[in-house]
Amino acid sequence: MAEKIDYDFQAHERPLFDAWMEAGYFQRTEGFGPLADNPYTIVIPPPNITGVLHMGHALNDTIQDTCIRRARMQGRPTRWILGTDHAGISTQTKVDKKLADQGISRLEIGREAFVEQCYEWYREYGTTIVNQIKGMGCSCDYSDEHFTLEPAYVKAVRKLFVDWYHNDLIYRGKRIVNWCPSCTTAIADDEAEYVDEAGHLWYLRYPLTEPVDGIEYLTVATTRPETMLGDTGVAVNPKDERFGKLVGKTVKLPLVDREIPIFADWHVDVEFGTGCVKVTPSHDPNDWAMGERAGLERINIFDETAHVVEGYGAFSGMDRDEAREAVVAAFDELGLLDHVEDHDHSVMTCYRCHTKLEPWESEQWFVAVDGLKKDAARVVEDGTIQFHPERWRQVYLDWLANLKDWCISRQLWWGHRIPMFYCDECGWEDASVEDVETCPKCGAAVRQDEDVLDTWFSSQLWPFATMGWTEEGMGAPEIKRCYPTQVLSTARDIMGLWVARMVMASMYCCDGIPFEHVIIHPTVMAADGKPMSKSRGNGVDPLRLMQDYGADGMRFGLLMQVTGTQDLKFNEAKLESSRNFANKIRNAARFVMMNLDGYDGGAPDPQNPVDRWIFSRLANLVAAVDEAYADFEFGDITRDLYSFFWNEFCDWYIELSKARLNGEPEERAQCQRNLVFVLDQALRLLHPIMPFVTEEIYQELPVEKDAPMLIGAAWPDAKALAAYIDADAERAVSMVCEVVSAVRATRARYGISPRTELSVVVKVEGGDAALLQAQAGLIERMGNTSELAIGADVEKPGESSVTLSAGLEVYVVLSGLVDFDAERIRLKKECEKLEKDAAKFEKKLSNPGFLAKAAPEIIEKDTAKLAEVRDNLERVKAQLAELG
C-alpha cells in the first residue's frame, strides 16, 4: 500500500459541513427510488438553551444523525427537526444570578423587564449547543429551527391548555406538592433527585389530654421534628392492640397547646418507631392522605422559603433547620424528648439547585391523567409504538400505571404563562388562547394567572407543534405527509417525563401516535461504571474528543461501545481506534486512486475468485447492516463495518489485487472497476456514522457518481447485491487467508525471513480440498512457498509446526529452521489454554441458572463453542503425542 498519511480531519470537517448546508441536503427534499413517497422524520429532543454538549447528547445525536443519513440515502424525503427548549427554572436561575452580580433583583425590575432579560440571555447564549451539534456533523434542518417560546409554539401550548381545561382534564386545587424553597416553585415528582443522608429519628412524647389506664403520653418517632408545629393528629394501625383503647382519645400537642385526635389508619407501619405516627397533612403526602380519610385539619407552618410563618412565637421566622434545633431543644427542656437514634434515609432535592424539597400544601394546576393514560398505554401494548431495547416497554407501561395527577404550574416568570383570566369584580374566570383584557360578563379589567406551565407540559407538543399544527391542525401539509415521525431517540430518565407525555398529548391532539419507534440509548458512564457528573469530576467533554479524534472518530467510537443490554462504560481508547480507522479508510482509498491510471469506468465484473469472494462478503455485509438498522443495533453495525473494511477489504482484498493491478490491461481494468465498486459501496455504508472522511473520499473518486455528494448518494441495495453471494468463493478465499495467516504467523513466531521459501502442507476436510486446491497459486504467491500440498488425506510432515482453524490443519515444515523443544512447549501451553476454555464452557452450560435465564441462541452459540474447543484440544493432544 502507498505511504500512510494521517487524515487531517480538522482541515476537512467544517468545509464539508458548510457544503452540505449550502446544497440544501439538511432540508426536506424530494426523495428518489421506491421510497420517494415514504418520508422519514425525527424530532430532536430539544436541548435546554442553558445547556452545552455532553456525552449523552453526543451519543444520542450520533444515533439520530446515523438514522437520518441512512434514510436520506435510501431515497426517503428526510427531515431532522431541530429546536431548543426555554428551560424554565434553569434559565430563570441563570438570569437571576446575572442580575444579582449587577446588584439587581428581578423583583425590582418587574416581570416584563425580567422576561426581556431572559430573551437577551437566550439571544446571547442560547445557540451555543446548536453550534456544537453542527460541529458533530449532525444533519438537522437548521433552516427551520424551533424554540418552545416562539409565537406559534406558544399558541399551540395555550390551545392544549384551553382544550384540556374545557374537557375537565385540567383543574386547580390545593394539594401537597414538592416545593423548592430556593427556586420558590413547585417541582414535579419525577424531577426530584433522591440523596442518601445520615440523619436521626427523634422520639417525642405527646401527653394525653386525659390519662387512660395509667398511660400519660404517646411517643411518636419522626425524622422531621420541626413539622410537629403543624400536627393535627396521631395515627396508629387498627390491628395494633397496644393502642386500641386510645383510638378516639386526644393528645395535647406540646409547644402549641393544640388538642389533636388519636385515630386508626391502615397506612401506619407497626414496625416503624413506636407504632404511633404524628400526622402533618400539609407537609407530607402520606399524612395528607391519612388526614383526608380522617377529616383532619390542614395547617401549613412554612412560607414559600421554608421559614416558619407568624403565629408560632419564637419559632416564627426560623428556617427549617433552625426550627428543628429549637423544637428538639424545647422538647428536651420540657422532658418530652424520649431519645434519639441514628437513621439513614433518602431526601428529595431540587434537580436544579439541589436544595432539599419541602412537601408543601399550595394551590396548583393539575392534569387529570386518568383521562389520558389509557390510550397512551394501549398503543404500546399493541405494538403500534415499539421500544428498543424491548425491555423498556414494560418500564413505560409501569410508569403510566402508577402515574398520579400531574402538577403543571410553576411559580416562575420565564415560560408559558398559564392562559387563565380572572375578573375580581364579578368572579368570572376562563381559559383562553388569546389574551383577555376585559371581562366579557361585566366589562371590568381582568388579570392573568401569575404562574407558568411546567416545561414538560410545553415540550409534550414538540413532535406536532413543530409541523404547523398550531395554525392548521391535522390539515397542515407537513403533518398530513409526515406524521407520525419514525424514530425518537432519548435517554431513559425522561421516558416518563417526556416520552409518555408526548404519546398522551399526540393521542389527544392528533388522534394518533407521535412516533413509531423509541430508542432508549444507554447512559454514558465513566470508565469505572460510575455516572459522569461535575461533582465527581469524571465527566468527559465531547468538544475535546472531537478536537483529538475528529467528529468521525468520536461518533464511530461511541457507537462501537453500544450494546443493547447495559450502560456504556466510556472507553476513550475506542475513539483512538476509530480515529486510526478513519486513517485506514483514507489510506486505502488513496491506494485505490493511485492505481486508477487509465481507468475507463464501466460495470463491475467479479469473475476472479477473489472478486467473487469480496463481492459476496459485501452482499452479506449489506444484508447484515440493514437487519441491524431495523433493530437499532448500532454497536453491531459499527463492528461489522470495521471488520469488513479493515480486515477483508484493506488487509486482504487490496493485497490480493496488487498482482492484477500490475498484470495485463484487461485484467488490470477489471480489477480497477471492482476495487472502485467495493470501495464506493463501503463508503456508502460507512457514511451515516463517519460522514466527513467518507464524503471527502467520495468527492475525490474519479468515477461516475449517482449524486454530486455522498450524503445524497443511494444506499447499497441488498436485493441487487444478493446476486453476488457465492458461498464457495467465500469459503475458498477465507481458507486462503487462513493458510497464508498461518504461514505468516509461523514466520513471525520463529523469526523466519519473508524471503525464505517454506514447504507447506494443508490438511482440509472433504469438498473443501478442491476449493482450496483451485486457489493454490494465491497461497504460493502470498505465502512464498517452495512446496504446497493440499488434501484430505495428507500426512503431517516430520519436524513441522501446526496451526488449527475451522476445518483446516496447516503444517509448515521447519526442519533446520526452528527449535522443536520450543514447539513442544508452545503446544503444551495451547493445550492448557484449551482445557481451561473447555472447563469454562462446561461449567457455564451445566449451570441450571444460566440455562433457565439465557436466550436459546446464546445457549446454542456456547454449545457450538464448546464443541469447537474440544475438537481443537483433541488435535493439539494428538500433535503433542506425535512430537513425543
What residues have CB less than 8 Å from 861, skipping those under 6 apart?
none
Reference 79, options 21, 35, 141, 137; nearest CA is: 141
pLDDT digits (tens, 9 = 90+) for 464-482: 999 999 988 899 999 999 9
Q: Are 157 and 457 spatial neighbours (Cβ–Cβ below 8 Å)?
A: yes
CATH of the domain at 856: 1.10.287.380
Grid coordinates belonging to 174:
390545593
The conformational region for residue 208 under phi > 0 = left, psi -120 to 50 = alpha, else beta, is beta
What pLDDT does 7 receive?
Answer: 73
What pLDDT does 565 receive?
Answer: 67
CA–CA separation, 684 and 710 (whole Å): 7
Amino acid of residue 254: P
**274 and 291 co-located in one domain:** yes
CA–CA separation, 100 and 881 (whole Å): 85
What pLDDT does 191 receive?
Answer: 73
Instruction: Establish if 373 belongs to a structural domain.
Output: no
**810 and 824 co-located in one domain:** no
Is pLDDT of 430 > 60?
A: yes
**753 and 611 co-located in one domain:** no
Give CA 122 to chain center in angstroms. Answer: 27
Instruction: Establish if 502 belongs to a structural domain.
Output: no
Instruction: Establish if 490 belongs to a structural domain.
Output: no
**650 and 760 co-located in one domain:** no
Q: Which residue, of 290, 321, 349, is where some domain finishes?
A: 349
Q: Which residue, of 290, 320, 349, is where some domain finishes?
A: 349
CATH of the domain at 234: 3.90.740.10
What pLDDT does 318 receive?
Answer: 96
Is pLDDT of 9 > 90?
A: no
What pLDDT does 173 receive?
Answer: 93
> How does residue 317 score in pLDDT terms, banded at 50, 70 and 90?
very high
For 627-657, b where at least 16 C-beta lie within 10 A, e where not — what string?
ebbeebbbbbbbebbbebbbebbbbbbbebb
**202 and 332 co-located in one domain:** yes
Question: CA-based angle 469:474:479, to the nearest 5?
Answer: 75
What pLDDT does 2 receive?
Answer: 46
Instruction: Establish if 428 belongs to a structural domain.
Output: no
> How does residue 1 score in pLDDT terms, banded at 50, 70 and 90?
very low
What residues have CB less than 8 Å from 570, skipping those under 6 apart?
55, 524, 525, 526, 527, 532, 540, 561
Is pLDDT of 804 > 90?
A: no
Domain tally, the chain: 4
SS3 annotation, 681-728: HHHHHHCCCCHHHHHHHHHHCCCCCCCCCHHHCCCCCHHHHHHHCCHH
pLDDT digits (tens, 9 = 90+) for 856-876: 778 888 898 999 999 888 878
Is pLDDT of 154 > 50?
A: yes
**703 and 562 co-located in one domain:** yes
What pLDDT does 744 receive?
Answer: 94
Residue given cell 403543624 in the structure block: 230
> How does residue 332 score in pLDDT terms, banded at 50, 70 and 90?
very high
- Give how far Cα 807 sits from Cα of 42, 170, 731, 772, 778, Å: 48, 70, 11, 12, 19
Radius of gyration of the chain (CA): 36
* Gap between the terminal Cα atoms of the chain: 44
- Taking all residues of the chain, what is their mean pLDDT, rounded to a whole number? 92
**208 and 342 co-located in one domain:** yes
Tally the residues of the chain.
884
pLDDT digits (tens, 9 = 90+) for 365-405: 999 999 999 999 999 999 999 999 999 999 999 999 999 89
Residue given cell 420558590 in the structure block: 184
> How does residue 535 score in pLDDT terms, banded at 50, 70 and 90?
low
**864 and 794 co-located in one domain:** no
CA–CA separation, 733 and 655 (whole Å): 13
What pLDDT does 182 receive?
Answer: 86
pLDDT digits (tens, 9 = 90+) for 482-516: 999 999 999 998 898 999 999 999 999 999 999 99
Instruction: Establish if 479 belongs to a structural domain.
Output: no
What pLDDT does 798 receive?
Answer: 84
CA–CA separation, 743 and 731 (whole Å): 18
Reference 407, options 344, 352, 362; nearest CA is: 362
Annotated binding site: 534
Average the pLDDT over 702-708 and give the result.
88
Q: Are 405 and 367 spatial neighbours (Cβ–Cβ below 8 Å)?
A: yes
From 197-211, 345-359, 583-597, the region with the lowest mean pLDDT: 345-359
pLDDT digits (tens, 9 = 90+) for 166-190: 999 999 999 888 899 888 888 877 7
Grid coordinates belonging to 809:
490443519
Backbone φ and ψ of 417, nearest 5°:
-70, 135
- Alpha helices (H) in 257-409, listed in sequence order: 285-294, 320-333, 373-381, 392-401
**752 and 833 co-located in one domain:** no
Q: Are 470 and 199 spatial neighbours (Cβ–Cβ below 8 Å)?
A: no
From 150-159, 527-536, 677-686, the region with the lowest mean pLDDT: 527-536
Instruction: Establish if 310 belongs to a structural domain.
Output: yes
What residues have CB less than 8 Å from 279, skipping those under 6 apart?
231, 232, 233, 234, 235, 287, 290, 291, 294, 296
Is pLDDT of 884 > 70?
A: no
Give CA 79 to chain center in angstroms. Answer: 21
What pLDDT does 73 receive?
Answer: 98
Reference 478, options 470, 509, 158, 506; nearest CA is: 470
What pLDDT does 355 receive?
Answer: 87
Q: How many CB atoms lie within 10 A of CB 733?
A: 27
CA–CA separation, 503 and 843 (whole Å): 46
What pLDDT does 823 receive?
Answer: 74
CA–CA separation, 133 and 62 (whole Å): 10
Q: Are 301 and 282 spatial neighbours (Cβ–Cβ below 8 Å)?
A: yes
Provide the CB-side half-sphere exposure for 624 (13 A, CA): 15
Instruction: Kindly state the percentage of the chain with pLDDT values over 70.
Output: 99
Instruction: Establish if 716 belongs to a structural domain.
Output: yes
**556 and 668 co-located in one domain:** yes
3-state secondary structure of 321: helix
CA–CA separation, 357 and 184 (whole Å): 10
pLDDT digits (tens, 9 = 90+) for 640-685: 999 999 999 999 999 999 999 998 999 999 999 999 999 999 999 9
* CA torsion, ordered 80, 86, 88, 89, to nearest 10 deg: 80
3-state secondary structure of 187: strand
CA–CA separation, 486 and 488 (whole Å): 7
Is pLDDT of 277 > 60?
A: yes
Domain containing 756 equals: 726-814
Average the pLDDT over 732-748 and give the result.
93
What pLDDT does 819 receive?
Answer: 76
Annotated binding site for ATP: 534
Instruction: Establish if 343 belongs to a structural domain.
Output: yes
Q: Which residue, of 331, 349, 367, is where some domain finishes?
A: 349
Backbone φ and ψ of 427, nearest 5°:
90, 5
**721 and 579 co-located in one domain:** yes
**266 and 292 co-located in one domain:** yes
